[in-house]
Amino acid sequence: MKHVYLDNAATTQIRDEVINEMTNIMKNNYGNPSSSHSFGRSSKSIIEKYRKRIASYLNVSASEIVFTSGGTEANNLILRSAVRDLGVTHIITSKIEHHAVLHTIEQLDKEYIMSVSYVDIEPNGDIDYLHLETLLKTESKTLVSLMHINNEIGNVLDLKRVVTLCKTNEAFFHTDTVQSVGHYKLDLQDIQVDFLAASAHKFHGPKGVGFAFVRKNSGLKPLIFGGEQERGLRAGTESIHNIVGIAEAMDMAYRNLDEESAYISNLKQYFIDKISNDIPKVTFNGNSGNIKKSTYTLINVCLPVNPSKAAMFLFQLDLKGIACSKGSACQSGSSQNSHVLAEILNDEQLQKPSVRFSFSIYNTKADIDYVIGVLKELI
């Protein structure tokens, strides 16, 4: 049986070059970076070298990069400190954010005296920018939290437009860029976001490491206490091999970005053309079927399947060796519909199986031919 992995929005295969670099570090640079002896100083030097490398791709200062265990921790650090330490009493977000943001905001709303506003979502999955502008006209100290690329439907936020609205209304802006760092160039001097979260395993790096971008002099304070690591913003002995892994993966992603993004874009367009031809009643969720209006890395399709067969559809694909998902991997195993699709689809559409296929450099047109063939057979 052929095995096809099309769930790259959930996690990606680590590049061999990244594994080799990490293995070398684990074997030869095992000193604690906080130790004052030569082993420790060597490890500390490595961390700062790779921190600078990451910062250079975002056009920021190395001191503005805070290493975390991943995107979830980075989001928690930013959102919790904004309310606890920066005096934010009003958060504007959307109901189609990743649960790492939504659930954190829900918890903050229980713990603190604050308010939460949800910006309206257009039928195509875009946010209503005019409604956002209205919500920003408040006397409360406000933070806007909106993801750059939606992890389920691939819609792309106009970061510059949101930054301009936030600056005009003196609001902080935080964006989850877990699906965009490593896939898109982001110049944070040009796009003046205040806070950003990223994760290595979405661009062929290791799991268990990410970073928060925290703009200089923001006043953010730590979520985890203990030591003075990460300039006091994130206590705990640094995972040197993982930090090297995320930097190496980011380095390779941006050095090869033009070539690899073109390759993946072609795969996505091939998928769109083939499924539209072979399964004419298929529809595309959000903007994902339009390569000019969505990320090139994923597509989300609503399939013309009888509702009685919908519940087992992903399982049947898995039996055929196809890895994909109905939404975020963090919801895997849940019987509930995607909270993202619930905002943009009607009841009839929600009864049919919607499947997210996400692509990487390790996929081929032969993979797509196999998947479409299986879809036709099951439908």
Cα 111 to Cα 106: distance, rounded to the nearest angstrom: 9
Return the number of other C-beta atoms located less than 10 Å from residue 285's C-beta.
25
The DSSP element (H or E) to which 318 belongs, if any, is helix 313-319
Residue type, 95: K
Residue among 166, 302, 324, 330 flagged as catalytic: 330
Q: DSSP states of 114-175 as a string?
A: -EEEE--B-TTS-B-HHHHHHHH-SSS-EEEE--SB-TTT-BB--HHHHHHHHHHTT-EEEE
Q: Specify whether the CB–CB gap between 114 and 108 falls below 8 A.
A: yes
CB contact burial 126-160 (16+ within 10 A = b; e otherwise): bbebebbbebbeeeebbbbbbbbbbbbbbbbbebe
Residue 324 appears among annotated catalytic residues: no
Residue type, 191: I
Cα 30 to Cα 288: distance, rounded to the nearest angstrom: 44
Residue 63 is encoded by which pair of tokens? 């001191």
Q: Which residue has the tokens 């950003």?
A: 196
Cα 364 to Cα 360: distance, rounded to the nearest angstrom: 9
Residues annotated as part of the active site: 330
